[in-house]
Amino acid sequence: MKKQGRLPIKLIDNEEFVKRIVDYINLFVEKVIQRCAGLEPGDLGLVIQDIRQELYKQGKTLTILIEDITAASGVDDSLLDAL
């Protein structure tokens, strides 16, 4: 195997290196999901507030259940504030 072909294998076998790369990539998960969904920070929160206001006018309420908020990727702070 060529010298440059062995380097990636050595890096993948290095658990500490892989963990650091995964941790780094995970820093961007929320932003990537928001961009892929075409959302700006705060958009979901505004939508939820609009829905709640409209339902309030009708004498209804909105109930949102989230079993494990830590597992909800792409959920920004403004959405949590709206809940």
Instruction: Measure the CA–CA gap between 74 and 83, rounded to whole angstroms.
Output: 15
Considering only residues 75 and 59, tell me which one the structure prediction assigns the higher pLDDT. Answer: 59
Instruction: Measure the CA–CA gap between 22 and 5, rounded to whole angstroms.
Output: 21
**pLDDT score of 15:** 86
Tell me how crowded residue 18 is: count the other CB atoms within 10 A of its CB. Answer: 12
Residue 72 has pLDDT above 80, yes or no: no
Side chain identity, residue 81: D
Cα 60 to the center of its chain, rounded Å: 29
DSSP tally for the chain: helices H, then strands E: 5, 0
> Tens digits of per-residue pLDDT, 13-54?
888 888 999 999 999 887 887 788 787 767 777 888 899 899
Instruction: Measure the CA–CA gap between 36 and 51, rounded to whole angstroms.
Output: 23
pTM equals: 0.45
